[in-house]
Amino acid sequence: MKCLKCQSDNPPESTYCEKCATRLDPPRPAFTETMGTTREELTTGSTFAGRYQVIEELGQGGMGKVYKVHDTKIGEKIALKLIRPEAGLDKKSLERFSNELKLARKIRHKNVCQMFDLGEDQGVRYITMEYVHGEDLRQLIRKVGRLSPGQAIAIARQVCDGLEEAHKLSVVHRDLKPQNIMLDDDGNARIMDFGIARSLTGKSITGAGTFIGTPEYMSPEQVEGKDVDQRSDIYSLGVILYEMVAGRRPFDGESALSIAHKQKYETPEDPRKINPQISEGLARTILKCLEKDKAARYGSARALDADLAGIEDGLPTTEKVVPKRKGVTTRDITVTFNLRRLVVPAAAALVLIGAVFILWKAIGGKKPLAVTASSPATKSVAVLPFVDLSTDQSSEHLADGISDALINALSRIRDLRVPGRTSAFSFKGREVDVREIGQKLNVKTVLEGSVQVIGERLRIGAQLISVDDGFQLWSEKYDRKMGDIFDVQDDIARAIVDTLKIEILGERDASLVKAGTANLEAHNLYLQGRYFWNKRGKKDLQKSIEYFEKALDIDPSYALAYAGLADAYIILGNNSYLPSDEAFPKAKGFTLEALEIDNGLAEAYSSLASIKRDYEWDFEGAEREYKRAIEISPGDANAHHQYAFLLSLLGRHEDAIKEVKLACDLDPLASRIRANVGYILYLARKYEEALEELKKALEFDPNHCAIYAYLATVYREVSKYEDALESNVKSIECGPEDPIFPLSRAMIYARSGRTEDARKILNGLKVLSKKEYVSPALLASAYAALGEHDLAFDLLDRAYAERDNRLTYLKTAPSFDPLRSDPRFTALLRKIGLEN
């Protein structure tokens, strides 16, 4: 059995690939119709490439025909585009498509159609992508003639959102046109076909001077064959906007060459001369997009979106509705959903009714574990991520840093409920009604703002909005020097407190937002460090360490930078990216440095508690430090979350569940906390409740690998081995490369009687452990499942010598159950301090 994913060979009786754990499909019956190398079209009912059953032809593009197919491997309908031989069989073209598709696949956004793969079958190359049910914008324009300004802006803003995500990943479309913008049945816009996208940071595969794109929508620089950037997409969107509201394009001609000449040299006619309903502001915006000099256009999709939003605010509500499609037939081009995304639209719709109601229905009327409040707290505010309006979009870390500082400061106020960063930042880059935010985050008010850096000047706008009626309770604009950033943050926090009439203990004039440093360069480096730290990947953490260290080079007394270093090394140790005895001593040193400078730093006490829990095994001291952190900042969801784990590891399960429940209430959209609700229930041996919570967590985030990993673990304990393997495969597909995933699979094999399969994986991990760190405690649990107890205890002794943080799970984790009756196990528990 050959694995379609990694191409490795497996025994014929295998269900899952021994190397990558992908499910193996059995050979297809001999009568299945296949695709010949010379065929350029498919017939309905045929099977292509051994897995795609053709439903119908959808249309034809520049590269070839597009089909709606049923992917028998994942059981879903997708779109399949055949590449015409003259477009794709050339080696150079294939290299371009292959490399640029890799870039396009990185884009994950609600307004972008997901690209899947470039494949080949018997000499015929093809691209697979998401299938969206709807019609393209070209069809809509033909049907209605022209759209109202409000409808056109609503579509353009969604396109801006999708482009912003692509440009953030350094990908530019280069062929944006109405045919590549799909509108689903609800009028939502989706950008299609990033097949000829290129990297802004990488060297283009396309040769110099190559003419790529559609002449009617091409920017002047594309006409000349010059390098393009995101402003070329802005130009194309300007043409589309012009066409939507004017009913025709700004430039047409008898040939591609004549149109291209006009794009380069002619000035477009003012669209108001064609359609007097177009406002002066909208016409000015469209013509700015169509500037010949790209430096005169909008510098980013976000900047264009900001101007469109201002124009949209002045339009009647009825004008903003995009026409929904009626009478949809199977001939309409677009796309259903990838398997992992099937639950997203349903979950999103239900969330609009209210997060509490969703969970209540999901468990048959019982009160859900992860939500406690039945109505929004009277004094509550969600601090949304501030928007970076800088021309070059280089101040995102500064905008995020202002939001973080306000969340941290306001979380310290005992009578004010402030949802955590993860929940607040889940709305980043999205246009969401404040009432929906209020329902999801259980708050009465929302703070939103923007940041713009112009040379040495800093412009910050902020407004506090009532969720109930959408009215502004307070707003202010600040135009200050960069050095005043700390004062501005404190002014905003103070305005929120005064507006909500909250009493503050202590000195009335004391700063709410601590500056931490007077050096702007050090502060900027710290914010960049936190920006990468929040991404949590191994390389991101290493990059965050570089920025924190640079900040300390400039200001050695910067406590927050020391706390940042400690947090980075704690995650590197907890995720087994570094050995515990390398990561945690460094983390402790940096934590103590931070506390010596600022003994009121809640984050540092929480870090010190985690070090005591995971490395020093000083569980009493860890509890003391967690309580101190919570006393300083009672609204810190992460402190409650981490404290819950300590209680769970000590066997105080009811207290642990109560604490993680509070963490969920403080940060209700944090997928990591929701996943760990299920994991803490698993440690408490409440398997059915654990499965229930983990399945509910998937409704909120169906792409979170930890949820699948925990599901695999719980299914293993209830002997549902097929379900366990399927969840393990999904955790591998959506997660980073990590030894914990094959270890989990080895334990499933061992528990289900497939001992040889388990040993193969463990032998591979032994080899891997010589090159990179693999937790000996986790290896021990796998060998325990195989019944090899002596080897398991040898590994546990090694884990003890290396201070492996996974040993803290020894008391409660079911994976160690096979060893509990052995006197050596009790002795080890005592050595660690988990038993008297």
* 669 touches 436 (CB < 8 A): no
Report the candidate in 329, 499, 497, 531 with the shortest Cα–Cα distance to residue 416.
497
DSSP state of 229: -
Residue given tokens 């595969």 in the structure block: 205
Rg (CA), the chain: 29
CA distance 66 to 46: 15
- The SS3 of residue 2 is strand
Among residues 334, 318, 327, 290, the alpha carbon closest in space to that of 78 is found at 334
Q: Which residue has the tokens 């939502």?
A: 188
**Ramachandran class of 225: left when φ > 0, alpha when ψ lies in -120 to 50, beta otherwise:** left
Helix intervals (H) in 36-115: 85-88, 91-104
Q: Are 162 and 180 in contact (CB under 8 A)?
A: no
Q: Which two tokens stand for residue 440?
A: 């999801």
In 509-526, which positions are buried (b, 16+ CB within 10 angstroms) versus exposed (e)?
A: eeebbbbbbebeebbbbb
Q: Which residues pair with 71 in a beta bridge?
A: 52, 76
Rounded Cα–Cα distance for residues 593 and 599 (Å): 10
In three state form, how does the secondary structure of 322-368 look?
Answer: CCCCCCCCCCCCCECCCHHHCHHHHHHHHHHHCHHHHHHHHCCCCCC
Q: What residues are paired with 69 via a beta bridge?
A: 54, 78
DSSP, collapsed to helix, strand or coil, labels residue 393 as coil
**In whole angstroms, what is the distance from residue 136 CA to residue 183 CA?**
6
Find how far residue 292's CA is from the centre of its chain.
Answer: 36
- The residues assigned a catalytic role are 175
In the numeric block, the tokens 């149109």 are attached to 259
Between CA 351 and CA 342 the distance in angstroms is: 15
Q: Which of 693, 3, 697, 71 is nearest to 339 (CA)?
A: 71
- Alpha-carbon distance 567 to 557, whole Å? 17
Q: Which two tokens stand for residue 50?
A: 């051994």
Q: Which long-range contacts (CB under 8 A, 24 or more apart) does 769-777 make?
A: 772/739, 773/576, 773/577, 773/578, 773/579, 774/576, 774/739, 774/743, 775/576, 775/739, 775/740, 775/799, 775/804, 775/806, 776/802, 776/804, 777/804, 777/806, 777/807, 777/809, 777/810
How far is the C-alpha of 104 from the C-alpha of 124, rounded, in Å? 21
Can you say whether the dihedral through the CA atoms of 798, 803, 807, 811 is positive or negative?
positive
Where helices occur in 412-558 by DSSP H, the ranges are 421-425, 434-441, 485-499, 520-533, 538-554
Amino acid identity at 337: F
Q: Following DSSP, what letter does each residue of 664-689 receive, concatenated?
A: HHHSTT-HHHHHHHHHHHHHTT-HHH
DSSP per position, 707-732:
HHHHHHHHHHHTT-HHHHHHHHHHHH
